[in-house]
Amino acid sequence: MFVIVVGCGRVGSELAFRLFQAGHQVAVIDEVGKSFEALHPDYRGRTIEGEVLSEEVLKRSGIEAADGLAAVTNSDSVNAVVGHVARTVYNVPNVVVRNYNPRWLPMHHAFGLQVVSSTGWGAHRIEALLGDPAGRAVLSPGNGEVEVHEILVPPAWAGRTVADLVGDGESVAVAITRAGRSMLPAAEMALEAGDAVHVSATRQGMDRLRQRITTEKG
């Protein structure tokens, strides 16, 4: 796979080297040649110094043959424009852009781009880890709109069913781990105290599930 990384800061340099280590062809574009010093010494991909929005620079990077492009500068507007151009003008099949300031996230969504919001995701993840350990997030796809949480069944809920736990339609049980063995949950399966139930839910759905567990008695 041939991937172009636009921006050679902390994120771009790390991403480029990871892709290179995985055996991909990589080209990194940055306006400042000194930025390439951030690349790992073992990186052997291409580097292109120049204006990242320049048609000449994009073509020199090989964008017309690229399988993927990641725009990871610290400018949301640049990332959005580069991503949009790569997808609509050069038909790059897989484009991912970095969201630097969460307030600009709607702009990326308006372009229909795949977005990674490191600031928003990081804050959301830290908040989850500081919260109730019995309902901690273990998987956060995208930017945290839907997460998979691990719920430990309290003694008061022993004997109640999976349907009792997630039957409101706002969450979905995806796995139950009991005595070290994981299984697919059936709606009628009875819960046991200490079961680890992995539940997929929105943030609002998870908040309501936690509230129900703590307020309803078994």
Q: Quick one: pLDDT at residue 132?
A: 58
Q: Quick one: pLDDT at residue 73?
A: 96
Name the CATH superfamily, with its identifier, for domain 2-121. NAD(P)-binding Rossmann-like Domain (3.40.50.720)
70 contact partners, CB below 8 Å, separation of at least 6: 3, 4, 5, 6, 12, 15, 95, 96, 97, 98
pLDDT averaged per 10 residues, the chain (length 218):
97 97 97 96 97 96 98 95 96 95 88 87 70 64 79 89 86 91 93 91 85 72
Indicate the burial class of 98 (C-beta count within 10 angstroms; 0-12, 13-18, 19 or more). Answer: buried
pTM: 0.67
Q: Quick one: pLDDT at residue 131?
A: 60
Is residue 45 within 8 A of residue 75, CB to CB? The reply is no
Report the C-alpha gap between 48 and 209 in whole angstroms: 51
- Scanning 32-169, the segments in alpha helix (DSSP H) are 55-61, 76-88, 105-110, 118-130, 162-166
Q: Quick one: pLDDT at residue 191?
A: 94
Report the C-alpha gap between 51 and 60 in whole angstroms: 11
Q: Structurally, what CATH architecture does the domain formed by 130-215 represent?
A: 2-Layer Sandwich (3.30)
DSSP-based three-state secondary structure for 145:
coil
SS (H, E, C) 27-70: EEEECCHHHHHHCCCCCCCEEEECCCCCHHHHHHHCHHHCCEEE
Joined tokens for residue 117 = 């919001």
Joined tokens for residue 30 = 């940055």
Is residue 150 within 8 A of residue 133, CB to CB? The reply is no
Q: Quick one: pLDDT at residue 133?
A: 47
DSSP-based three-state secondary structure for 114:
strand
Domain ranges of the chain: 2-121, 130-215
